[in-house]
Chains A and B, each alone.
Chain A
Amino acid sequence: MAQERSLMKGNEAIGEAAIRAGCRFYAGYPITPQNELTEYMSRRMPEVGGTFIQSESELAAINMVYGAAAAGARAMTSSSGPGISLKQEGISYLCGAELPCFYANIVRGGPGLGNIAPAQSDYFQATRGGGHGDYRVIVLGPSTVQELVDLTMLGFELADRYRNPAMILGDGILGQMMEPVVMSDAIEYDASPKKEWALGSSEGRSKHLITSVRLAPGTLEKHNMHLLEKYRKVEEDEVRYELYEVDDADVVLVAYGTAARVAKAAVAMSRQNGGIKLGLVRPITLWPFPKTVISDIAKDKPDILVVEMSLGQMYEDVLLSVCGKAKVSLLAHTGGGLPSEAEIVETAKRAKSSNEAIEVYPSVD
């Protein structure tokens, strides 16, 4: 099977990658635009001796994952914005109890029921923890179907390594599109030697307790400081990004996911036409955010343009990274709107010639 190239839909590619990463427990609830993933798991899990449950709600799904992860399985769920909002309760508990799991948010337009068009408007929710309490989840931002596969497999590894949830922040385009992918071989995953903390038979050992409640004075503060130490290690070791044509660029774009696909095309188009020289920084990990590389680039490049399908969410992380060293402009779309290559090139030109940073939003007249 290895190195075999096949055409796969994004949502199904996540499912197959998860199976090959050793995931044997999936609980989910239908929501567009991620249904193909739930459907794929309902077919595949029984074939590999795993568990598929169509849960009564997203709340139940994430709590089933909490139980399955506690019992040592590689477990996952998936949804889109409104469902991920419901799952925040369980995600907070998973973080507090230090349980690994993997999940995908195939983002649709919000707020509320919004629409089913692709969006990046759950960036804050994903990168700021999302639920109650002091915690972080590892957030991966794929921009191709191949990357959905690779980052799903990486997500399970990182989740186990740090005993913390890891997620993919995709969108409706990535979930629905078909692209050629190369699947890795299935890994031989055996949890028992690794997860010495898991629930199971307590014969011959002391009891295992998995909890997120720490009421005794000082104990929660101590635990949260332990979590912080872990998050700092993630920030040190797990930042991932792609640089594209940055060295000689006059304006450096920052974009992830689907927006980065368009941004990359804009870089190529403008260079091909002999226009403004653009480059691209594409964050692959959205948390931890590649702030050092962006900060370093900002020392030499006076103009940075953030392109995102949300109203200035990742913009804030870039502003924090740059910290006033360069002019940071924004091209934002929302509610399912997409930037075009021409619009990016045009905005970059305007940003460069302007003395002040500019913010460009869709015209709704």
Chain B
Amino acid sequence: MKKIFGKPESLSDKQFTYCPGCGHSLIHRLTAEVIDELGIMPRCIGVASVGCSVFADEYFNFDFIQAAHGRAPAVATGIKRVAPECVVFTHQGDGDLASIGTAEIIHSANRGEKITVIFVNNAIYGMTGGQMAPTTLVGMKTTTSPLGRRPETAGYPIRVCELLKGFDGVAYLERTAVNNPANVMKTKRALKRAFETQLEGLGFSLVEILSQCPTGWGMLPKDAVEWVDKNMKPYFALGVFKDIRAEEPQHVT
């Protein structure tokens, strides 16, 4: 009998502890599938960050390190410079990457560090109980913006891909989502492209993935996936922002 579906070799037997309907576990699985397909598992090193994915290190079958809040790109820099033969990636949320870790992400991108960043944008701080994130949408209610995010006092959601696009050290930059099967497949392709960019030594690669957080958003998983389409996509355009291997950026908005 031919086996057509199974657990990726790169994933450990540890059961995911994420909430029902959360995008993190899906993204971990896609990451593991890509690593398997590229045949790079034994030389992969993952960097877990702070937030819901703090235990990402437990879900994979290769070396992992847990980093301080926001510092994963600096930690990845140190590892990659010492072990350039390894494939080094970070898995970071929006609070980690776009708030406390803005300096680290900007400068590792600008240095063109040959690392891959998997950036999960669910517009909220999940682990700490649903506070306003740097990517929280205008008007969106959170536990620290109970009346909705007001730009007058809290500013606007940060568009990370648009921010990093201008840095010459960036080799690959794409924003995807995981709210329907087509987007899941596009995310997998983006992750593969990002890892290939690192394998070819071309520079910094990042995939921003719009992800649903039913618990933090206070809605059912089926409503959360629709909410991504209705509210997040209009503000966070999907598409390839930079791919130095391609001649023209291919926007798919």
Taking Cβ atoms with an 8 Å cutoff, the residues of A that contact B are 24-25, 27, 51, 53, 55-57, 59-61, 63-73, 75, 89-90, 93, 97, 199-204, 207-213
**In the assembled complex, B52 has its CB within 8 A of some CB on chain A:** no
Interface contact A210-B74, CB-CB below 8 Å: no
Q: For residue A51, which residue of chain B has the nearest CB? A: B81
Residues of B62-93 contacting chain A, CB below 8 A:
62-68, 71, 74-83, 85-86
A244: min CB distance to chain B, Å: 41
Closest A residue to B50 by CB, please name it. A213
8 A-B pairs closest in CB distance: A67-B78, A63-B74, A68-B78, A67-B75, A211-B66, A56-B107, A63-B71, A203-B42
Whether A71 and B68, one on each chain, are in contact in the complex, defined by CB atoms closer than 8 angstroms, is: no
B45 at the interface (CB under 8 A from A): yes
A25 in contact with B78 given A63-B104, A90-B71, A201-B43 (CB within 8 Å):
yes
Besides A93-B68, A200-B63, 14 other CB < 8 A contacts? A51-B81, A60-B103, A65-B78, A68-B79, A68-B81, A97-B65, A199-B86, A202-B42, A207-B60, A207-B63, A208-B63, A209-B65, A213-B54, A213-B66
Determine whether the beta carbon of B81 is less than 8 Å from that of A199: no
Q: Specify which chain B residues have a CB less than 8 angstroms from the CB of A208 in the assembled complex.
A: 63-64
Q: Across the interface, do A200 and B45 meet the contact criterion of CB distance under 8 Å?
A: yes
B75 & A200 in contact (Cβ 8 Å cutoff): no
Interface residues of B in 41-59 (CB under 8 A from A): 41-45, 47-48, 54-55, 57-58
The answer to whether A209 touches B71 (Cβ under 8 A) is no
Known: A200-B63, A210-B66. A63 touches B75 (CB 8 A): yes
The dominant DSSP class at the A interface is: mixed
Question: CB of B61 within 8 A of chain A?
Answer: yes
Interface centre among A67, A200, A208 (most CB of B within 10 A): A67
Q: How many Å lie between the Cα of A190 and that of B75 in the bound state?
A: 22
Residues on A with C-beta less than 8 A from B71 are 59-60, 63, 66, 89-90
What are 25 A-B interface contacts by the 8 Å CB criterion? A53-B111, A59-B74, A60-B74, A60-B104, A63-B68, A63-B75, A64-B75, A64-B77, A64-B78, A66-B75, A66-B78, A67-B80, A70-B75, A71-B82, A75-B82, A93-B68, A199-B63, A199-B83, A200-B63, A202-B42, A203-B43, A208-B64, A209-B64, A209-B66, A213-B55
Chain A residues closer than 8 Å to B66, beta-carbon distance: 97, 209-213
> Given A51-B81, A70-B78, A60 and B65 touching (CB < 8 A)?
no
Closest chain B residue to A90, Cβ basis: B68
Q: Are A211 and B65 CB-contacts (below 8 A) given A59-B103, A60-B74?
A: yes
Interface pair A89/B86, CB less than 8 Å apart: no
Contact A71 B103 (CB under 8 A): no
CB distance from B111 to the nearest CB of A (A): 8
Give the complex CA separation of A57 and B104 in angstroms. Answer: 9
Asked if B62 and A53 sit within 8 Å, CB to CB, the answer is no
Which residues from chain B contact A199 at a C-beta distance below 8 Å?
A: 45, 63-65, 79, 83, 86
Chain B 19-59: CB-based contact to A (< 8 A → 1; otherwise 0): 00000000000000000000001111101100000110110
Given known A60-B104, A210-B65, contact A201–B82 (CB-CB < 8 A): no
**Bound-state Cα–Cα, A301 to B77, Å:** 54
